[in-house]
Amino acid sequence: MKNIPYQPQNFEKKWQEYWDMEKTYKSEISNQKSDNKQYVLAMFPYPSGAGLHVGHVRVYTGTDVTARFYRMSGRSVLHPMGFDAFGLPAENAAIKAKKNPMDMVPEHIETFKKQMKSLGLSYDWDREFSTTDPSYYKWTQWLFIQFYKMGLLYKKDTPINYCPVCKTGLAEEEVLPNGTHERCGNKITKKDLPQWIFKITKYADRLLADLKDLDWPEGILAMQRNWIGKKEGVIIHHKVDGMNIQLDTFSAYPAWLFADTFIVIAPEHPSVQKLVKGTQYEKEALNFIEEHKQMTQQEILSGNFEKKGVFTGKYALDPFNNNRKMPIWLANFALMDFGTGIIRCSAHDIRDYEFAQKYKIELDEVVDRVDKKIPVNAHDNSGTLKNSGPFSGRKIDQKLIKDVLDWVEETKIGKREVSYHLRDWIFSRQRYWGEPIPMIYCQKCQWQPVAEKDLPVKLPYVKSYEPTESGESPLSTIKEWVNTDCPKCGQPAKRETDTMPNWAGSCWYFLAFPFWNKESQSRVFHSSGSPGQAGFPSRSKQTFSTPSLASWAQQFKKSSNWLPVDRYLGGAEHAVLHLLYARFWVKALYDLKLLNFKEPFLKLSNVGMILAEDHRKMSKSWGNVINPDDVIKEYGADALRIYEMFMAPFSTEIPWSTEALQGAYRFVKRVWEIYQKIYGQSGSRTSEVGERSGKTSEVKLMAKLNKTIKKVTSDIPQVKFNTSIAAMMEFLNEWESASAKASANKGKMPLSKENAKKFLQILAPFAPFLSEEIWKTVFEEKQSIHLSSWPKVEGETAEEQIIIPVQVMGRLRDTITIQSSKRSDQKFIEELALKSEKVKKYLTTKPKKTIYVPGKIINFIT
């Protein structure tokens, strides 16, 4: 009888359907003990028309391996999947395809799901949702209202970053350093538009402090820290000579406060007008301000520009130096939104120094440096102070800084102050494809949240949804939708027409999975009318259960066992935006007592990007895209999964290699073949399978198997998938040569059925199809391998033989092999080592000293 060749296409579909039907991966929390649960999550995808990318495959396989491992280890596992489908890319794609995103998104989701199933990802599909489902975004809107009620949202007419191509306002974080929009790459301009703004700055301190509890990559933590950008410093109050106004400055370097000789102020600072009004300097100042406004955009683009300023004609009085007169200058480098917008300047700063040189402003020095090579204007905290009032002669150190700050506060010259880089979060988008912001404007009652019973405020299905020329949301043109009644007084009122940014849905989706179920799903967008017709939310036909604080609390109670997320896997490109926003929402919800934890993601692992074979990014325009469907078709899903887990450490960026993929294919094929050969139909008849201890090859192989099980068991939780697979490859190599030897000698096969099953089990998380097929057809098991118990290494197993390197003076000269650690006492090893000819050659005299690390190494010192 012939062995069955490895043809994954013959059985992969079968098992997909079987797992679906059997609900093999349904998540159920079996007990109340939270230490037995694992919530494993990958950052959910944006379902684009291009379908899954091999990069998606990498993250999702990563969580899948982890989830399968924990499931087999007896944990309660939550491994869900959803779709993040609101936002600009989908809307722009829809405009391009001349399709309504409401019709397009579900099609894309179907493609994604189909591809995910073909990869054998073990999701609990009953929990699936898309952020665009009204049944989901009713909650997003409900959360908005809660945040509004707790005072975290305000509407403000404010100059904002505006993308003229996307025709929408943007958050600070969405603008790249070169002044372009992070999504579309076009140049940003400034525009005044009324915006809903989130007071994320209120949480700056907590967002920073709580980072210390997180098991996240150091780089991501650093990026979050930098973004929040906390600076502790001091505010100094100044009187202006001959005027009745106060100027406050911010300084982060209190040691040099006595050195400051002049002050610069941001051109857009409100006090500027007062300072120059009616003076001979007014005209020049106004010109400068105007010029500065013009320059703003170019400045962002060029990055580097000339430091310029004009004198205001006024002087501030320096409280540090007996009210010495400090000239006040307008300067184009003073930022209105950092510190107070006003800076005390001194010689001990490169920029200040250069500015003073340029405009011939007097400078003063207060530092005696030990190292004379350090330039005056370097930010260097060494040396001793001079000309610094009570602090002259003091060494610059932490104690001095503290004393200066204390003194400043005692003398009421100023006070300690903390400044942040983090800005409030602009939450309005003037676009169609997003969650409508559930607010209503009434002439009399001002802004009012939509009543809970009227949620969701459904996005109307419309023909035209392209951005308007005025910069207003396209929703504003739909009168029937806009006009409504005030929830408070009942008078005619208007809906907010801005929508939420893409981030809204992803800020809390991980909180939704635990309580989501098939019944809560609804991908129906039309509450009335047929596609192409406008459909509006109808209060009489409300089909959604009414969300309320009570019902949330109820839902949460049911699901709280799962939370927070234990393992979160995703790309480093979300280091700031998504992760910061989600952390912020969780903290706000904690304050609302809707959650009992403060951080959403306990352990975060980054996935590295997969580049094309030519080392460039995969892109349609380069024609270098690898489609996972094609790979699966040719090599099967298991080979693709094994390859992507083996190609490099999980977080490393790496180019695709079809040759290396073939190596992975060879591995799964060899696994298939050895099981067929030994335990398959032909195998079981021709060769006796047995396990008898005593024979060296069998003992060795069992030791190797145990070592491999241990390795895989400890590697998976550490996200070290590549070394897990390497260990399994090593085992297969040994197993193959041992069985080849056995069949040559017509001996028994070196691995019993039970032990052969163990290897299949540890392979199962990586190669779910192949392992299930062998499990069910070769071993004729009834239950899925993925519900079997992870193999344990019994205590009483044979040990692998131990090789002990022998060194003379720290140089390797020979190795000795012992069969068991029981023979590893020093005397025995030493005698053995001294017998070696090679060792004798280098050991001409008796060693003065012998260093022996049991079971590790022996070193003779002469």
Interacting positions 589-618 with RNA (CB under 7 A): none
CA distance 802 to 828: 14
Closer Cβ to RNA, 144 or 227, answer by number: 227
Closer Cβ to RNA, 125 or 731, answer by number: 731
Going by their DSSP bridges, the two strands 324-331 and 262-265 should be labelled as: parallel
Nearest distance, CB of residue 649 and RNA, angstroms: 4
The DSSP line for 551-615 is HHHHHHHHHGGG-SEEEEEEEGGGTTHHHHHHHHHHHHHHHTTS-S-S-SEEEEEEEPPEEPTTS
Closer Cβ to RNA, 269 or 523, answer by number: 269
Going by their DSSP bridges, the two strands 168-170 and 849-853 should be labelled as: unpaired
Residue selected from 131, 332, 527, 739 as contacting RNA according to rule CB under 7 A: 332
Interaction between residue 305 and RNA (CB under 7 A): yes
Site for RNA in 258-277 (CB under 7 A): 266
CA distance 719 to 714: 9
For residue 73, give both structure tokens: 């280890």
Interaction between residue 231 and RNA (CB under 7 A): yes
Site string for RNA, 822-851 (x = CB under 7 A): ----------------x--x-------x-x
Closer Cβ to RNA, 218 or 410, answer by number: 218
CA distance 310 to 334: 12
CA atoms within 13 A on the CB side of 351: 15
Site for RNA in 724-753 (CB under 7 A): 725-726, 729-730, 733, 736-737
Closer Cβ to RNA, 122 or 859, answer by number: 859
Interaction between residue 654 and RNA (CB under 7 A): yes
Site string for RNA, 173-212 (x = CB under 7 A): ---xx-----------------------------------
Interaction between residue 97 and RNA (CB under 7 A): no
Residue selected from 26, 190, 666, 692 as contacting RNA according to rule CB under 7 A: 666
CA 34, chain centre distance (Å): 24
User: Cis omega (within 30 of 0) on the bond before 106?
Assistant: no
Secondary structure in 3-state letters for 777-833: HHCCCCCCHHHCCCCCCCCCCCCCCEEEEEEECCEEEEEEEECCHHHCCHHHHHHHH
At 220 the three-state DSSP class reads helix
Site for RNA in 338-367 (CB under 7 A): 338-345, 349, 351-352
Going by their DSSP bridges, the two strands 565-571 and 601-607 should be labelled as: parallel
Closer Cβ to RNA, 384 or 801, answer by number: 801
Nearest distance, CB of residue 739 and RNA, angstroms: 11
Interaction between residue 703 and RNA (CB under 7 A): no
Site for RNA in 793-822 (CB under 7 A): 803, 805, 807, 809-812, 815
Site for RNA in 620-649 (CB under 7 A): 646-649
Interaction between residue 229 and RNA (CB under 7 A): yes
Site for RNA in 412-471 (CB under 7 A): 419, 421
CA distance 749 to 168: 69
Nearest distance, CB of residue 722 and RNA, angstroms: 6
Residue span binding RNA (CB under 7 A) among the ranges 185-193, 407-415, 650-658, 779-787? 650-658
> Total residues contacting RNA (rule CB under 7 A)?
88
Interaction between residue 121 and RNA (CB under 7 A): no
Site for RNA in 29-68 (CB under 7 A): none
Closer Cβ to RNA, 549 or 654, answer by number: 654
Closer Cβ to RNA, 583 or 669, answer by number: 669
Residue selected from 722, 743, 797, 836 as contacting RNA according to rule CB under 7 A: 722
Residue selected from 50, 184, 245, 252 as contacting RNA according to rule CB under 7 A: 252
Residue selected from 659, 780, 794, 796 as contacting RNA according to rule CB under 7 A: 659
- For residue 341, the tally of other CB atoms under 10 A from its CB is 22
For residue 39, give both structure tokens: 């919530």
Residue selected from 150, 418, 489, 853 as contacting RNA according to rule CB under 7 A: 853
Residue selected from 189, 723, 788, 836 as contacting RNA according to rule CB under 7 A: 723
Closer Cβ to RNA, 343 or 426, answer by number: 343
Residue span binding RNA (CB under 7 A) among the ranges 218-226, 321-329, 388-396, 820-828? 218-226
Q: Are 602 and 214 spatial neighbours (Cβ–Cβ below 8 Å)?
A: yes
Closer Cβ to RNA, 103 or 730, answer by number: 730
CA 485, 490, 491 angle in degrees (round to 5)?
70
Residue with tokens 């960026």: 653
Residue selected from 334, 459, 618, 843 as contacting RNA according to rule CB under 7 A: 334
Residue selected from 652, 686, 696, 821 as contacting RNA according to rule CB under 7 A: 652
At 345 the three-state DSSP class reads strand
Interaction between residue 286 and RNA (CB under 7 A): no
Nearest distance, CB of residue 119 and RNA, angstroms: 20
Alpha helix positions (H), 247-363:
271-276, 282-302, 350-359
Nearest distance, CB of residue 73 and RNA, angstroms: 20
Closer Cβ to RNA, 223 or 451, answer by number: 223
CA distance 200 to 426: 10
Closer Cβ to RNA, 139 or 731, answer by number: 731
Residue span binding RNA (CB under 7 A) among the ranges 109-117, 243-251, 485-493, 776-784? 243-251
CA distance 692 to 690: 6
Closer Cβ to RNA, 247 or 462, answer by number: 247
Nearest distance, CB of residue 571 and RNA, angstroms: 11
Q: Counting beta carbons within 10 angstroms of the beta carbon of residue 782, is it exposed (0 to 12), middle (13 to 18) or buried (19 or more)?
A: exposed
CA distance 585 to 321: 47
Site for RNA in 567-586 (CB under 7 A): 572, 575-576
Residue span binding RNA (CB under 7 A) among the ranges 314-322, 335-343, 439-447, 583-591? 335-343
- For residue 857, the tally of other CB atoms under 10 A from its CB is 16
β partners of residue 196: 155
Cβ burial 274-299 (10 Å sphere, 16+ → b, else e)? ebbeeeebeebbbebbeebeebbeeb
For residue 751, give both structure tokens: 């691995």
User: Cis omega (within 30 of 0) on the bond before 270?
Assistant: no
Q: Counting beta carbons within 10 angstroms of the beta carbon of residue 247, is it exposed (0 to 12), middle (13 to 18) or buried (19 or more)?
A: buried
Q: Are 69 and 771 spatial neighbours (Cβ–Cβ below 8 Å)?
A: no
CA distance 463 to 482: 16
For residue 285, give both structure tokens: 């100042």
CA 493, chain centre distance (Å): 41
Site string for RNA, 760-799 (x = CB under 7 A): ----------------------------------------
CA distance 20 to 23: 5
For residue 583, give both structure tokens: 């952390």
Site string for RNA, 370-409 (x = CB under 7 A): ----------------------------------------
How far apart, in Å, are the Cα atoms of 465 and each of 86, 98, 183, 202?
14, 11, 19, 35
Nearest distance, CB of residue 15 and RNA, angstroms: 24
Closer Cβ to RNA, 202 or 351, answer by number: 351
Closer Cβ to RNA, 97 or 350, answer by number: 350
Closer Cβ to RNA, 233 or 449, answer by number: 233
Residue selected from 51, 194, 383, 663 as contacting RNA according to rule CB under 7 A: 663
Nearest distance, CB of residue 293 and RNA, angstroms: 13
Q: Are 594 and 556 spatial neighbours (Cβ–Cβ below 8 Å)?
A: yes
